[in-house]
Amino acid sequence: MNVVDYWAESHTGLVRRANEDALLATPPLFVVADGMGGARAGETAARIAVETFADTTSDPDSPDSFVRATIELANRRIFERGATDIATAGMGTTVTVAFVAEDRVVLGHVGDSRAYRLRDGVLEQVTEDHSLVGELVRRGAITPREAEVHPQRSVITRALGTEQSVDVDTIVAETVADDVYLLCSDGLTGMVGDAQIGRILRAVPSLEVAARELVRAANAAGGEDNISVVLFRLGGGERAPAAARPAMVAAPPRRLILVDAAEPERRRSPLRRAVTVVAALAGAVALVLAGSAYLGWAHFVGATSQGQVAVYQGLPIDLVGGVRLYRAERVSPIPVRALTAAERARLFDHAILSAGDASARVRRLAASAYWR
C-alpha cells in the first residue's frame, strides 16, 4: 500500500501574530507539531520536533520503534535546548506523526494535536487527546461538546520537551485502500467540530481543496489559533510524486511568513475586525450583566496553559474572539501533573470563591502534592 495523494496547509489564523505550528509532509512520513512557550519559543520547539523527523533516517523494517525513538530523540533535543537557552526555557510542543509502512500505518502521538481516519465515509479520531478536558471526557465527567467550549481546553497533560523523558502513545493500524488520514493541530479542532470535518472530507474528493476548505472553516469560525492540516490517502496505485508538490517541510508556507513580516496590518481581515467588534460588544454586555463589583470579587482556581495551578480573578467565561472575563492573578509552582485525578477533576469545578478561599484551596493542593 502506498500514499497515492497528500496535501498540507498551515495558516496563522486570524488572532495570533505568529504561526507556532510546524509540519512535515514527505511521504511516507507526516508530522504535525504545535509549539507552546513564551516569546515565540513554541515556534522553536515545534521546529525541532519536525526537523528531528526530517533528518532521521526511517527504518521500514521496524516502523514502530522508528516513530517512538524519533519522538523520544526530539524530546531530548527540545528539553536540552530549553535547559541551556534561557529564551526558550519551558518551551514544549505537541507532536502527531504518521508513518506508512508496507502493511500498516504507525501513528505516534503526544499532546492534543490529533489524527483522524476517514474510512468508508466514517470519520474516526484515532489518537487520544492528552489534555485535561480529554481526561474528563474519558472519565465521563463532561461531554465532548462541553470539552469543545471549555475555558481550559488548551491545557495539555503531556508535551514534548518539558521533561527529560516523555510517555509516547503509538497506534498501529492496518492499511486499507482509500483510507484518508488527517493530522491537525487544535487550531482546526478547537474551531471546527468533527461532524463538519467529516462533511468536508466526504464532500471534497481533492485533498488539496479539502485541506484549504478545512483551514477556511477554522478561520470562518474565528481562527483563534494557528491551523495546521495534513491529509493523505492510501491506495494500491502509483506512489504520490513528492517532487510535484510544493515544499511542505517545516511549514508555515513561505508566502505566509512574508506576509507576516512585511504587511502585518493587512492580515487583519474584515472578518477578524467584525469578530473583534462582536466580541467587544458581547464583553460589554456581559460585564454589565455580571456587575463589575462581582467580577472584581470573584476568584476561581484553575490551570494555566503551561499546566500550573493558578488563582484566577474574574469569571471562568470565554467570549468570542479570545475575550476573557478572567485573568491569572497568582500562578503557583504546582504542576497539574502532580495532582491526583480527583484533584484535577475538581480544578474544573470553577467554583466561584473569594480571593482568600481560592488561595486556601491552592495551599491545600500544594500540601497534598508535597506530601505524596
Residue ranges in contact with Mg ion by CB under 5 A: 34, 185-187, 225
Rank residues 125 and 175 by Cβ distance to Mg ion and give the closer one: 125
Nearest approach, Cβ of 153 to Mg ion (angstroms)? Answer: 11
Nearest to 35 by CA among 98, 100, 81: 81
Nearest approach, Cβ of 112 to Mg ion (angstroms)? Answer: 8
Nearest approach, Cβ of 42 to Mg ion (angstroms)? Answer: 9
Rank residues 72 and 225 by Cβ distance to Mg ion and give the closer one: 225
Nearest approach, Cβ of 288 to Mg ion (angstroms)? Answer: 32
Rank residues 34 and 51 by Cβ distance to Mg ion and give the closer one: 34
Rank residues 70 and 185 by Cβ distance to Mg ion and give the closer one: 185
Nearest approach, Cβ of 187 to Mg ion (angstroms)? Answer: 5
Rank residues 75 and 154 by Cβ distance to Mg ion and give the closer one: 154
Rank residues 206 and 305 by Cβ distance to Mg ion and give the closer one: 305
Rank residues 75 and 185 by Cβ distance to Mg ion and give the closer one: 185
Rank residues 260 and 357 by Cβ distance to Mg ion and give the closer one: 260
Nearest approach, Cβ of 47 to Mg ion (angstroms)? Answer: 15
Rank residues 51 and 224 by Cβ distance to Mg ion and give the closer one: 224
Nearest approach, Cβ of 190 to Mg ion (angstroms)? Answer: 7
Nearest to 228 by CA among 18, 19, 4, 6: 19
124 contacts 194 by C-beta, under 8 angstroms: no
Give dist(CA 48, CA 341) in Å, integer. Answer: 31
Nearest approach, Cβ of 34 to Mg ion (angstroms)? Answer: 4
Q: SS3 letters for the chain?
A: CEEEEEEEEEECCCCCCCCCEEEEEECCEEEEEEEECCCCHHHHHHHHHHHHHHCCCCCCCCHHHHHHHHHHHHHHHHHHHHHHCHHHCCCEECEEEEEECCCEEEEEEECCCEEEEEECCEEEECCCCCEHHHHHHHCCCCCHHHHHCCCCCCCECCCECCCCCCCCEEEEEECCCCCEEEEECHHHHCCCCHHHHHHHHHHCCCHHHHHHHHHHHHHHCCCCCCEEEEEEEEECCCCCCHHHCCCCECCCCHHHHHHHHHCCCCCCCHHHHHHHHHHHHHHHHHHHHHCHHHHHHCEEEEECCCCEEEEEEEEEEECHHHCEEEEEEEEEEEEHHHCCHHHHHHCCCCCCECHHHHHHHHHHHHHHHHHC
Nearest approach, Cβ of 184 to Mg ion (angstroms)? Answer: 10
